[in-house]
Structure 1
Amino acid sequence: MAKLGSATAVAKGGSTKVKVIGGLIAAVIVIIALFNIFNFADTDANRIGLHYGGGVIEDKKFKSVIPPGSTNKLIGPGDTVYTYPVDQRSYIIGGDGADTDAADEVTVVSKDNVRLGVRVQVYFTLNRDEAVLKSFHERIGLKTDAYEDDGWDQMLQSYFRPQIDRALAAVAADYGWAELYNNESKKAAFQSAAAKEFTRLLPAAVGGDYFCGPSYNGTNDCGELSFTIQKPTPLDKGIIDGLEAKQRAELAKATQEQKNQQVNVELQSVKAQVAMLGAQGYLLKTAIESGKIQFMVIPQNGNVSIPVPTPATTTQQPGN
């Protein structure tokens, strides 16, 4: 009987351990389930979120916009939040830094068939209007993964670059290369026309007004993108050398013409003086002005004392 009692006690102890382990497993399962039921999302201060459903009993449809700087936003199990930048962004061709195509420049052909390299800077922000932002995500963002940093850069390369190329190529054909290289007013007109053309082409290419000006903050007017260009430069550097040589020659010619005009003025002055004084009188006047002849004006019947230098005397020493 004593042995049977001992065996019963052991059985009860083992049963207790099993219950404890089972309880722990059940608690873990409940915690996992709760985490799946109560899903949370955060957004950085410079990013806006698009909340899409993704549960097993609902479609993957748009639910809401999560404002920038949100913390622990409760979303459903399996839901997804896609975030996009809302601060000022740039796309720069021929520069350094983020969102740039640093090793490149746009090539255009001028009216006089000279190939020019153009560096471009575009500054903008993403349109935060809910309907517009949702359209951008579903038409562009999902296709290019623009909600990721690499995808964003690829999106700019795919949609911005071709329209910039087209805009500059269309406008450059109206200007001679020297106008764009040397004339600031012509360059400004070229930039303005190119910006207008790019602003027209971009929405048509992407399918909507997804991008606003750099000063847009979500509550003011969308505004136009900032589009600037640097001096268009001929790809053939010999053209620049030729222009500089021509400019040097023109400068030397202008300088010589100025000198010739000065000499001609002086010659006319000499002729006038010779006509008035006679040749001998002019020569005398010139000699006096140059200091080669000195004279004194002596009043009539006046007494003039002219100091005569006294020769220096030599003092003899005693004994000499």
Structure 2
Amino acid sequence: MSTSIENIGLFTSGGDAPGMNAAIRAVVRTALYYNIQVTGIRRGYEGMINGEMSLMDRRSVANIVQRGGTILKTGRSEQFMTPEGRKLAYEQLQKNKVDALVAVGGDGTFKGAQLFGKEFNIPIVGLPGTIDNDLFGTDFTIGYDTAINTVVNAVDRIRDTAESHDRLFIIEVMGKDGGMIALRTGIATGSEAVLIPDSTSDINAVFARLERDRRHKSSKIIIVAEADEESGAAFDIGDQIKEKYPNYDTRVSVLGHIQRGGTPTCMDRVLASRVGVAAVEALLDGHRNEMIGVIHNDISYIDFSRAIKHNTELNPKLLKIVEILSL
């Protein structure tokens, strides 16, 4: 391993995800193991521009592996999208003697990191921190397992009241551009249908399922991935169902940001720890402009340009499973 790197800047960016703190802990302690300093950068790229940086030690990351959110805070930065903003960020890194970066986030984080790394020739690697599981180059992203378990627990509780009142519930989950949360939780909760942006959602197919002889079933659950529209996808679907089937006691429940919070699962803690250790070692081995993931239980390295959203595809067999099991 090379020892040319002396100070790694570490930050979280974009939406928070359970397990980010475990990743922070892993990066800091691995760097210290190799006698490398770590500078924590607060509030993502915006904090980088404003110089919100401080050295971290092993006590900085004590007792955080079980905590949701991110101790480094996070956010999005319009200023970093400009050449002037990125120049200010680089000047702050130089001022704090940071000579490499580890970014924890999703596709927006990696797009910024890719551009920044090429403009200023600074080594950067990324860790996949997003609940949407929509990055190519890793089987799972940090936060996804916790998010889907949160959804499953919520839907199980909603089904209790649905069965008590013979109701139909349309439940909206996160996923404006991808349906991984909706699809997996739909299977896990025994939903009647799953509507996602990754495939052509046919409301008539939903109507057909509802028209089948289902009088013996006391509850019906439909999982819908959120849409870009301000009104929300679930409310739109709910209005269509209410209009066609006024006899149904139809309710809409939007789970919202509860999916982002909470104690990370064992899977997310282990994933975050593995890629956090691998990120530091990757920088020492000369990697740059790459995301560190796990594929088939092995550490993987993939260029930022390939890791971004829309490169991953849903397994059509999972959609078929929803259809078969909704009988």
- Same-fold status (TM-score > 0.5): no
Q: What is the TM-score of this pair, normalised by structure 2?
A: 0.20
Q: Quick one: higher RCO (CA 8 Å, sep 6+), 1 or 2?
A: 2
Structure with more of its chain in helix, by fraction: 1
